[in-house]
Amino acid sequence: MNLFKKFLEYAKFSTGDFEKIFADVEMPPCPKVVATLMHKLNEPDIDIDQIVPLLESDASLAAQILKIANSALYGLPGKVTSIAKAVALLGLSEVRNIAIGYAMTKTVKDPGKEGFEIERYWADSIFRAVFSKKVALHLGVESDEAFSAALLQDIAIPVLIDRWFDLYKDVFETWLQSDKRLHEVEDQILAWNHAQAGAWISRSWQLPDIFTCSIGLHISSFDEIKELKLENSVVGPVALSNKLSVAFGEKTSIEEAELEAKAMGIDGDTLEELFEESKAMVSSIADALGIRAK
């Protein structure tokens, strides 16, 4: 069974046909250069010589790849000055992940609604992405995928506020005044939540199934992730990062986050260390992504 089918069959998310649920929600398209890159990378025997010209054709994407390659996120020796060198050093898989992050920065716009602070949203998203990467490295799972999947986990929130505010307004305003978690308010009012909507965006962008599952399951507990036999994947680190969210997280206590980390084999001291290291990197990564965060 592939991951997406497993995700759909998971009881917590089996609330209906996604095509029907989101029929009236205008999901954002994936930027053309990223969509083309995804398609190219799915071709057999693809090599760097075929990918470099595509990346260089979009000056904004090329600049972001170079900034990320030279950021503290990788700590590469020497300055990377060409796309060809960046691809050679990082590999096609990681370039794909950077491109996915680029797609998000181009897609997410400030909805300009009271209660939503775009700079705080970005700071939180970047923190969770860096934290997920560090947790994945600690656990020995795919860290580059963890970064991009975590960055995307709340992509649906500003999209829903911006494009579907007539209905989502009640959800968002209720959540701001409530002690409940955002997905609980969404489930109560809409019968679906932003994790599902984010998974659908991922699916419509034809991202790998592990991204779709990580986004869709980021509100889940580690026990629920284990039920799906995904405990040895990036889904766990992404979900743990959500427990430490400072902006659009699920109002989780630090004690709950520590219990989740312990279930994953991460002790309290290590959790605190990873947390502080991740916070310290937010500004530099935001600069590399070309966005403002606070």
Predicted local confidence at residue 10, as pLDDT: 52
DSSP state letter for 292: -
| pLDDT beneath 70: ranges in the chain | 1-25, 246-253
Question: Counting beta carbons within 10 angstroms of the beta carbon of residue 78, is it exposed (0 to 12), middle (13 to 18) or buried (19 or more)?
Answer: exposed
The DSSP secondary structure of 4-46, one letter per residue, reads HHHHHHSGGG-SS-HHHHTTTS-PPPPPHHHHHHHHHHTSTT-
For residue 14, the model assigns a pLDDT of: 43
* Residue showing tokens 């002690």: 179
Using CA atoms, how far apart are residues 124 and 247, in angstroms rounded to an integer?
6
What are the tens digits of pLDDT across the range 154-197? 999 999 898 888 888 999 999 988 888 888 999 899 888 899 88
Q: Are 153 and 199 in contact (CB under 8 A)?
A: no
Q: What pLDDT, in 10s, does the model give residues 115-167?
A: 889 998 999 999 999 999 999 999 999 888 899 999 999 999 999 898 888 88
How far, in Å, CA of 92 to CA of 41, rounded?
8
Instruction: Give me the amino acid identity at 190.
Output: L
pTM: 0.88
Rounded Cα distance, 24 and 10, in Å:
24
Q: What angle do CA 209, 214, 216 make, to 5 degrees?
A: 95
For position 137, what pLDDT does the model report?
94
Cα 137 from Cα 141, distance rounded (Å): 6
95-to-55, 187, 288 alpha-carbon distances in Å = 9, 36, 14
Q: Match 């990788």 to its residue by tokens.
A: 74
160: its two tokens: 């829903």
Question: Residue 239: which residues within 8 A CB-CB, separation 6 or more?
Answer: 214, 217, 218, 219, 220, 221, 222, 225, 260
Rounded Cα gap, residues 50 and 126, in angstroms: 30
Q: Domains (ranges, CATH) in the chain? A: 3-25+112-289 (1.10.3210.10), 31-107 (no CATH)
Is 104 exposed, middle or buried (CB count within 10 Å of its CB: 0-12, 13-18, 19+)?
buried
Interatomic CA distance for residues 118 and 114, integer angstroms:
11
